[in-house]
A and B are shown apart, each in its own frame.
Chain A
């Protein structure tokens, strides 16, 4: 069974702080995606990383795909209350039509 473990599970920080969320697996993925889910809504795609070692930036969010394509990280600079939500990583494998979703990181940013 393929698993994607995210850490930390919960994160509660003050506005302006930096944070990093990790997504780790023993499996190799063809690509990896990050989603954010706000309360009462469905997940929304933030980014897809495809190449090992790839770094993508989305305003204050920086996403990195591990060189071996088994892990990824999400770094948020100067967090804002609007960043509050559940962050999910999801891995796409070479031979299936399904995504493997991570366990999730719940982020709360206080003003």
Chain B
């Protein structure tokens, strides 16, 4: 199993451009999450999904959109990129809640710079 994969690994965007960050998991997990991590900081939840066709906002959703058409994929869309969106973005997945704790598996991250 590859686990959680993210593409691209690095990207530089100009202000106002748009892009999609890709996230795929091969563990058949129904829960998927997008976080951003600013330098020296913890993780902030952007959006999450508990299954195909279901998405919900996290702590910092403004400026982002998501979709979940399949169990495996959970892309994050940035519209009209702004310097404040410069960050490292992590995708994570977890299985259903019959396990103790919502144990999450993370991808390697996408480092995004908006200039």
Enumerate chain A interface residues (CB-CB to B < 8 A): 30-33, 40-45, 48, 50, 88, 90, 92, 97-99, 101-104, 106
What 4 A-B pairs come out closest when comparing CB atoms?
A: A42-B106, A31-B101, A48-B101, A104-B42
The prevalent SS among residues of B at the interface is loop
* B43 surroundings in chain A (CB, below 8 A): 43, 88, 101
Given contacts A97-B31, A98-B58, A102-B42, contact A43 B101 (CB under 8 A): no
* A92 surroundings in chain B (CB, below 8 A): 101-102
B103 engages A104 (CB within 8 Å)? no
Number of B positions contacting A (CB below 8 A) = 25
Q: Which of B7-45 contact A (CB under 8 A)?
A: 31, 33, 35, 40-43, 45
* B109 surroundings in chain A (CB, below 8 A): 40-42
Cβ of B108 under 8 Å from chain A: yes
Given contacts A31-B101, A33-B101, A48-B100, contact A42 B108 (CB under 8 A): yes
Q: How far is the CB of A90 from chain B (nearest CB, A)?
A: 8
* A33 surroundings in chain B (CB, below 8 A): 101, 103
Q: A42-B4, A97-B50 are in contact. List 20 more A-B contacts (CB 8 A).
A: A33-B101, A33-B103, A40-B108, A42-B107, A42-B108, A43-B106, A45-B103, A45-B105, A48-B103, A88-B43, A92-B101, A92-B102, A97-B97, A97-B102, A98-B33, A98-B48, A98-B102, A99-B104, A101-B35, A106-B40
